Amino acid sequence: MWKHLVLLLATILGFGASLMMMHRAIGLASPWMGLTLMMCLLGLAKIAEPFYLLEMPWGLRQIRSWESRGVLYRRLAVPQFGGLLRDTPLRHLNSSVYVSGHGRDLAAIIRQVEAAEASHFWAALVLFPHLVLTARSGNWAAVAGLLLVEIAGNAYPIMHLRMVRGRLGRVSRRRAPCVAPPRRAS
């Protein structure tokens, strides 16, 4: 546990120093600052996992029926995006969300999937104001780049993780032992 704590503190110090230098060099409103903040948040969330797992906001936590049916997600090629993650070295960005090879219980994997989803949600929120500021400045090439990062780096991972979490939730409910309701005395 001490190694994780030292790593977390070193990461916080390193990211803090980097962000201060970036702020001085390019300013807070720069699109590059937005990307740096987003990446720091994703990295810090991953390093902090032994101590704290991020959560989705309460109103967004529940998987909606249209998400679990997957029609829209299939039209948006979210399953193919998941295949890209699974079948390439990108898989190693967060191996804790995969069922195979971990020997962990399903509830723990679902929690890891939700934490990964929450990380991308909060990263999207951090990047969004920089996207708006960049659009207001009229730097359309930077807007296109930030939009691409927002979609491929946050929106698609969120949709994929919600789809996975819905599927794992269904499996978990099927595995749960059926408990008969208590009988009422007549």
Q: Which region among 6-15, 100-109, 138-147 has the lowest average model confidence (pLDDT)?
A: 100-109
The predicted pLDDT at position 89 comes to: 83
Q: Is pLDDT at 185 greater than 80 in this prediction?
A: no
Asked if 115 and 49 count as a contact pair (C-beta separation under 8 A), the reply is: yes
Can you tell me the distance from the alpha carbon of 118 to that of 129, in angstroms, rounded to the nearest whole number?
18
Tens digit of each residue's pLDDT (9 = 90 or more) over 26-58: 988 899 999 999 999 999 999 999 999 999 999
Tens digit of each residue's pLDDT (9 = 90 or more) over 129-173: 999 999 999 999 999 999 999 999 999 999 999 998 988 888 887
Predicted TM-score of the model (pTM): 0.84
- Give the mean pLDDT of the chain: 87
The predicted pLDDT at position 186 comes to: 47
Q: Which one, of 170, 172, 56, lies nearest residue 116 by Cα?
A: 56
Can you tell me the distance from the alpha carbon of 12 to that of 19, in angstroms, rounded to the nearest whole number?
10
The predicted pLDDT at position 70 comes to: 77
Name the CA radius of gyration of the chain, rounded.
Answer: 20
Asked if 134 and 31 count as a contact pair (C-beta separation under 8 A), the reply is: yes
How far, in Å, are 10, 146, 163 from residue 112 at the CA level?
23, 27, 14
Residue in the structure block whose two tokens are 């790593």 = 7
Asked if 53 and 110 count as a contact pair (C-beta separation under 8 A), the reply is: no
How far, in Å, are 10, 115, 143 from residue 5 at the CA level?
9, 19, 37
